[in-house]
Amino acid sequence: MTPIPRKVSRRASQKVSRRGLIAMGGLALVGATGMAGSSVVTPGQARSAVVAGRQRGGAPLDAGRIQWGEDPDRQWGRLFLPDPAHWSANRQRPAYPVVVFFHGGGWTDKSSPSYCETVARDLARYGVAVWLPTYRGTPDPGGWPMTFDDVSDGLDFVERLGEHADFTPDLDRVHVTGHSAGGHLAAWVAAREQLPPSMPGGGRPGGTGRIRVRSTTSLAGVLDLEKAVNEDRDHWVVDVLGGRPEEVPDRYQAMSPIDRLPLELPVNVLHGRADSVVPVATLRDYLEKHTTTGNPGRVVLMDGVEHQDFVNVRHRAWAAARQVCLTSVGPQPSART
CATH for 141: 3.40.50.1820
Query: Which burial class, exposed, middle or buried, applies to 230 when counting CB atoms under 10 A from its CB (0-12, 13-18, 19+)?
Result: middle
pTM (predicted TM-score):
0.87
For residue 258, being part of any structural domain is answered with yes
Residue 220: closest CA among 106, 310, 320, 325 = 310
Checking if the pLDDT of 327 tops 60, the result is: yes
The model's confidence at residue 24, banded by pLDDT at 50, 70 and 90, is very low
The model's confidence at residue 332, banded by pLDDT at 50, 70 and 90, is confident
pLDDT digits (tens, 9 = 90+) for 247-277: 999 999 999 999 999 999 999 999 999 999 9
Q: How far apart are CA 67 and CA 49, in angstroms?
A: 33
At 71 the three-state DSSP class reads coil
Residue 133: closest CA among 173, 98, 97 = 98
Residue 100: closest CA among 16, 13, 185 = 185
Q: How far apart are CA 212 and CA 214, in angstroms?
A: 6
The model's confidence at residue 169, banded by pLDDT at 50, 70 and 90, is very high
Q: Flag the least confident range among 92-106, 133-147, 210-224, 323-337.
A: 323-337
For residue 266, being part of any structural domain is answered with yes
DSSP category for residue 108: B
At 161 the three-state DSSP class reads helix
- Domain span holding position 189: 55-329
For residue 13, being part of any structural domain is answered with no
pLDDT score recorded for residue 243: 97
Checking if the pLDDT of 72 tops 80, the result is: yes
Checking if the pLDDT of 203 tops 90, the result is: no
pLDDT digits (tens, 9 = 90+) for 116-164: 999 999 999 999 999 999 999 999 999 999 999 999 999 999 999 999 9
Q: How far apart are CA 62 and CA 81, in angstroms?
A: 7
As for how many domains the chain has, the answer is 1
For residue 280, being part of any structural domain is answered with yes
pLDDT score recorded for residue 260: 96
For residue 275, being part of any structural domain is answered with yes
pLDDT digits (tens, 9 = 90+) for 105-129: 999 999 999 999 999 999 999 999 9
Query: Which burial class, exposed, middle or buried, applies to 132 when counting CB atoms under 10 A from its CB (0-12, 13-18, 19+)?
Result: buried
For residue 23, being part of any structural domain is answered with no
Checking if the pLDDT of 333 tops 50, the result is: yes
pLDDT digits (tens, 9 = 90+) for 177-198: 999 999 999 999 999 999 999 9
Percent pLDDT > 70 in the chain is 83
For residue 236, being part of any structural domain is answered with yes
Checking if the pLDDT of 35 tops 60, the result is: no
Do 133 and 161 contact (CB within 8 A), yes or no? no
End-to-end CA distance of the chain: give it in Å, rounded: 54
Helix (H), strand (E) at residue 86: helix 84-87
pLDDT score recorded for residue 190: 97
For residue 276, being part of any structural domain is answered with yes
Instruction: Annotate 144-164 with b (16+ C-beta within 10 A) or e (fewer).
Output: bbbbbbbbbbbbbbbbebeeb
